[in-house]
Amino acid sequence: MTSRLGLLVGGVAVVLALAPIPALVRAQGSTSALTGAVRSQAEGLMEGVVVIATRDGSAVMTSVTTNERGEYAFPRTHLEKGTYRIAIRAAGYVLPEGDRPVQVGNGAPARLDLSLQTATKDQLAHQLTTVEWWNSMPGTAAQKDLLVRTMVNCGFCHDMERVMRSRYTADQFLPVMGRMSTYAADNSSACGVGSARHCDTKTLGRVQVQSAAQVPTDERSKALAAYLASVNLSGGRTTWNFPLTPMPRPKGKATRAIVTVFPIPRQPSVIHDLTVDRQGQVWYGDSGWGYLGKLEPKTGKFREYETPQSWPDPRPGFKRIVGIQDVEADADGRIWAVTGFLGTKSGYFDPRTEKWTTFDMPAPVWAFLPAFHKGQSTTLWSTATTAPAPAPLTAFRLNAALGKVDVTTPVGEPGGRPFCYQVERDPHDNMICAGFYNSNIVVVDAKTGKSRAYPTPTPNAGPRRGRADDDGHFWFGEFLADKAAVFDIATGSIREFPFSAKYMSAYAAAPDHHGGGWASSTGSDRVVRIDRNGTTTEYLMPVYYDARKVVVDPSASRTTVWLPNKNLSQLIRIEPLD
């Protein structure tokens, strides 16, 4: 056991002065700070336009969405006095003169009506989400599946726009693809998304896994290269030879949420995961630069702590960064963290003493943490995926009270490629495994070590990440099936909830406190809510977002959902109004 205190104060603290939100009020009437109507010549009053307000001197973005009468309203609880820049998100439309300024005072609500103009095809190309590109592109289902249906696809580290704007021929694409495979999947976002950011050599040096890129020669890569060259701007094309078709804008309930985006003050940062403790404080891990961070949403203050010195990747010649991948708050308020993929360290940070306690894991472990249910604070499940074949996939339970692993058991995940993407547990500390490749959910009994597997109703659904509630319902994302799902441990049944569009790739899901759940979607910039009765609502985020974990605040009396936005180094908060 080793421990070391690292502290960063002052320099990174940013005060955003957001008012506390004791009782979230309906965003209308006299409680509003800013209202207006949004129209266009093409549609008249427009529903489902995301209106984004950013105060001068602040980087925090607050957004609301227009209702069926084309009206938007920012509640006073979310906009303090000041000068704001107003932007919009509505695929196919732009604000003719760019962002609009508006003064928000303490008295009567400010008013700003907006008239939108139809976007040019080039502007629309910049607005399309990755999923909208995938569904707009011509091509056979087999070609698109080749592009989309893999764990780390071309839309994983950056958006599709840079691929679609490229001029590479099929032959030229192969070395580019070879270069892409030298990057660490979860750190290369520091090299930017779209044309907004770029990679300097210093940053690039950190994100490269190995230095030498191999030009792929396999048939799949060749077929993918040929397909991409048929839809990008190669061969002298000045625009795309197919229509760009956005998904429908939000409607009805999907327009009723306030979304706040908090940029991480220290850049570059790579925020893979976050957790919310029982006081409503948001903790996040930086997998690129080795920090644990905390945001107090009530004050907007950030504070960061360095990871222990003992955590850099010791493997010679390996440039992969081992910062913090996943974080979880335990029942006693300690923040558990694991190092990046196949790291050998885990441990916890105690906010009271500001000290780390770290543990060496018996093998390189896959890096996603189980939840800590009521009363759970000393044990931690992980699985090792690198045991030499034919050794089975092994689960370890670290017991922090004993300072060692107290359970080692094979995971009986049936199928050719046993692999738990998410290791979760129920309130009795039985381990739950989301089997990505074999498409099943496996429960490992903590007492007997015996496994029982439950296949997903949709074959090859790719269960990815999830969370169990205190009653034994495990919510998870079916990445390869565009569905969220819930597994009932008592009955072994799995219920699935399809998303509205193909390729919306559910990454993670989590239960809310009302018998429903929330799920993140890779590439669509939408977050999906599933009500207790199974109805889904898809909220459009104000920004490009890279889907990771979705976390429901355990302390909030009204549902409040948090997401890390890895590729843009932001934390996103969603407050539904219904």
- Which residues bind to ligand HEC, rule: CB under 6 A? 152, 154, 156-158, 162-163, 166, 176-177, 179-180, 183, 185, 188, 191, 199, 207, 228
Nearer to ligand HEC, 21 or 154 (CB): 154
CB 134 to ligand HEC: min, Å: 12
CB 446 to ligand HEC: min, Å: 36
Nearer to ligand HEC, 192 or 364 (CB): 192
CB 97 to ligand HEC: min, Å: 31
Is 313 in contact with 322 (CB distance < 8 Å)? yes
CB 9 to ligand HEC: min, Å: 32
CB 213 to ligand HEC: min, Å: 9
Distance CA 101, CA 116 (A): 15
| Terminal alpha carbon distance of the chain | 47
Closest to 289 in 3D by CA, of 308, 314, 306: 306
Instruction: Tell whether the torsion through CA atoms of 245, 248, 564 and 329 is positive or negative.
Output: negative
| Alpha-helical regions (H) of 80-211 | 121-127, 130-136, 141-148, 161-164, 170-180, 201-207
Nearer to ligand HEC, 205 or 375 (CB): 205
Nearer to ligand HEC, 162 or 301 (CB): 162
Nearer to ligand HEC, 139 or 333 (CB): 139
Nearer to ligand HEC, 223 or 556 (CB): 223
Nearer to ligand HEC, 17 or 152 (CB): 152
Distance CA 377, CA 563 (A): 23
CB 209 to ligand HEC: min, Å: 9
For residue 498, what are its two tokens? 């399809």
H-helix or E-strand spanning residue 184: none
For the chain, how are helix, strand and coil distributed in percent, rounded to 5?
10, 35, 50
CB 167 to ligand HEC: min, Å: 8
Q: How far is CA 393 from CA 108, 126, 188, 487, in A?
A: 63, 43, 28, 22
Is 367 in contact with 341 (CB distance < 8 Å)? yes
Q: Strand 440-444 vs strand 431-435: parallel, antiparallel, or unpaired?
A: antiparallel
CB 267 to ligand HEC: min, Å: 16
Q: How far is CA 419 from CA 293, 447, 461, 474, 500, in A?
A: 30, 21, 14, 17, 28
Nearer to ligand HEC, 358 or 520 (CB): 520
Q: How many CB atoms lie within 10 A of CB 196?
A: 9
